[in-house]
Chains A and B, each alone.
Chain A
Amino acid sequence: MIKDIRTTLLDERKSLSDFYNPQVLINMGPSHPAMHGTLRVMCRVNGEVVEDATCEIGYLHRAIEKLAEHKTYHQWIVYTDRLNYCSALTNNIGYVMTVEDLLGIEVTERCQWIRVICMELARIIDHLICIAINALDMGALTCFWYLYHWREEAYSIIEAMCGMRLTTSYARIGGMSYDLPDNFDSMMTKFLKGLPKSIDDVEKLLSANRIWVDRTKDVGTLTKQEVMDFGLTGPVARASGVDFDLRRDRPYYTYPELDFEVVCGVNGDVYDRYLVRMEEIRQSAHILAQCVKKLPKGPLWVDDRLIKIPAKQDVYNNMETLIHHFKIFMDGIHVGPGEAYNAVESPNGELAFYIVSRGGTKPWRTRIKPPSLLLFQSFEYSMKGAKIPDAVSILGSLNIIAGELDR
């Protein structure tokens, strides 16, 4: 009799465990608030634990690489803005740098300093957005207001520099489209004075916050070996202790003259990525302060008539210059056959451009190596064994930008 009850109970429990252990397929995205608009993940969950996940990308595939083969070198600069739209300036500069390598020219010193300023400003904005969205996805709305305020301030500086907030198209082959505005120093000083205070405020709100720590600590951990295996770069790799930063290890422009530290984490979880990003904002602000001090006067453009875009004043008043201007923009710059590969340290990691030229004004093949593609590839792996809410925090910390993920 007792045995019978036991078996019934066991049977009952078995059916219950079946009930609580269903292999449910959950589709997240592409239109899901935490999936940043265009990412899609199919998870097989057991209870709340994700057992297997498949990522689907391509929902923002806009054929930017194919378009490159149909546009001249100058025309394609606008498309680089739309790769990583949070840090468009870095994309612009990374691309023109590669074209300049193909042409074999070196930009002037002032231009180099301005480009470093642009890249660091872009890094600050990108990290601000990443932390703000990551916190927002986990319900911390206050940080979003604090950080977005300083992002707007940065945008007003960028707007004064090039006339556009988000899609800047600031860099040109051999120079920049405009020089810095007259009140740049005062704007930047105001920005650099206010930003650290806001960062401190956010750090006070988050770093010791029980909910934030619980949801980020030991979540989405990647070891050093896994980072190398997935080819990750940028803050995610540095949070795992991979001491690698192209600005220091393969410096370009005036980075060797600047004093900054490469920030590294230990655990490689979401919390460390957040700390690394916070510290990198401070380092970038430090670099910007040095740049404002050291910015030399001098010519902005290379002294090469075939590459330099004539000044607008001359175009309107001088016949020959008008024709020259017309030729540069309608015909394009002629680039000899050859190939070049160049990488810059974008806010997300190594952003590389690989251009194969067969001569003429259009490239034969332009390849963008976005950091996000490899980062998102590791997402499938980090999701295994995590819970659904963890997936949201991991994705936010990876900072996937769909524009450069799908291109």
Chain B
Amino acid sequence: MSKLTPKLQEEQDRVTALLIEMFPGNRIDRDKNAEPVMWLNTASELLLAVKDLRIVTGLQMDRLSDLTAYDNVDGSDGPKRFVLVYQLYSMRFHTRVRLKYSVSENESVPTLTSFWRAANWLEREVFDMFGIPFTDHPDLRRIMMDERFVGHPLRKEYPLKDRQPFPDSLPVRIAARTPLSSGQE
């Protein structure tokens, strides 16, 4: 195991304690590396938590390290179909926090593109692979697969070998979209 240095471990524990203090109503787990995993219940809570985590002095989770999702079709992590996972990283304290937010099928999630531009493509990928729509996303369309592709490959019911070839490639869309700097200026 990649053992943390004592100083970093201390920081990580401090961050976890602070999280528990700040969000008493939320379930906070520790994963195998003892990193905090916080579960969020509503969309507004997600936005508020992200906003707070960025600003609060002791946390400063200012970099979105990763944004992904996983299929929860077996119901191990609650009744809802998908779990969205946000990995946040503090460039000052070098600690990580993971946020989780469950969504049902076809339930849309608020976009984080207003906080980080990095969220743009990561959210498009989640939309492509799992079919989770994001509200107010500047350019929500498929990113990996062809736009004519049917289904969402990383859902568990999608067969591994179900190929959908197309005889030609689509031209890239350029005119019908908002300017590139529409995220955060």
Contacts and interface: CB of A to CB of B under 8 A. Distances in A.
Nearest to A63: B153
Interface stretch (B39-47, B90-98, B102-110): B90-98
Contact of A54 (B3, B146, B177): B177
A151 interface: no
A334 B143 CA distance: 34
Contacts of B96: 341
A384 B118 contact: no
A344 to B, nearest CB: 8
Contacts of B173: 42, 54
Given A338-B32, A354-B87, A104 B1 contact: yes
B180 A250 contact: no
Interface of A: 25, 27, 40-42, 44, 52-54, 56-58, 61, 63, 65-67, 69-70, 97, 100-102, 104-106, 228-231, 242, 244, 249-253, 256, 337-343, 350, 352, 354, 356, 358, 364-365, 367, 369, 373-374, 377, 380-381, 384, 406
Contacts of A228: 62-63, 91
Contacts of A338: 31-32
Given A251-B5, A354-B85, A101 B120 contact: no
A341 B87 contact: yes
Contact of B154 (A41, A42, A65, A100): A65
Nearest to B129: A65
Contact of B145 (A42, A58, A242, A367): A58
A252 B3 CA distance: 7
8 contacts: A66-B160, A101-B33, A105-B1, A229-B184, A340-B31, A342-B33, A352-B66, A358-B74
B144 A343 contact: no
Contact of A27 (B156, B160, B172): B172
A369 B2 contact: no
A351 to B, nearest CB: 11
Given A66-B154, A231-B64, A250-B94, A101 B4 contact: no
B2 A97 contact: yes
B175 to A, nearest CB: 8
A250 B35 CA distance: 13
B71 interface: yes
B23 interface: no
A221 B162 CA distance: 43
Given A61-B145, A352-B66, A106 B32 contact: no
Given A230-B117, A250-B8, A106 B1 contact: yes
A32 B57 CA distance: 48
Pick the most buried of A67, A340, A365: most chain B CB atoms within 10 A of its CB: A365
Contacts of A364: 70
Contacts of B56: none
Contacts of A250: 4, 8, 94
A25 B31 contact: no
Contacts of B71: 365
B2 A342 contact: yes
A381 B180 contact: yes
Contacts of A367: 66, 68, 70, 85
8 closest A-B pairs (Cβ-Cβ)?
A231-B118, A252-B2, A42-B172, A58-B144, A365-B70, A369-B66, A61-B144, A340-B32
Interface string B59-76: 000111110101100101
Nearest to B66: A369
Contacts of B171: 27, 42
Q: Is the interface of B mostly helix, strand, loop or mixed?
A: loop
Nearest to B119: A231
Contacts of B143: 57-58
B174 A44 contact: yes
B22 to A, nearest CB: 21
Interface string B4-20: 11001000000000000
B181 interface: yes
A217 B91 CA distance: 28
B120 A229 contact: no
A40 B144 CA distance: 12
B179 interface: yes
A44 to B, nearest CB: 6
A44 B173 CA distance: 11
A229 B116 contact: yes
Given A66-B158, A356-B70, 7 more contacts: A58-B144, A66-B153, A102-B32, A358-B76, A369-B68, A374-B118, A381-B181
Contacts of B120: 377
Nearest to A338: B32
Contacts of B179: 52
A44 B171 CA distance: 13
A221 to B, nearest CB: 15
A350 to B, nearest CB: 7
A42 B143 CA distance: 15
A53 B180 contact: yes
Given A54-B174, A340-B32, A373-B121, A231 B116 contact: yes
A340 B31 CA distance: 6
Contacts of A100: 1
A341 B31 contact: yes
Contacts of A54: 172-174, 177
Nearest to B183: A229
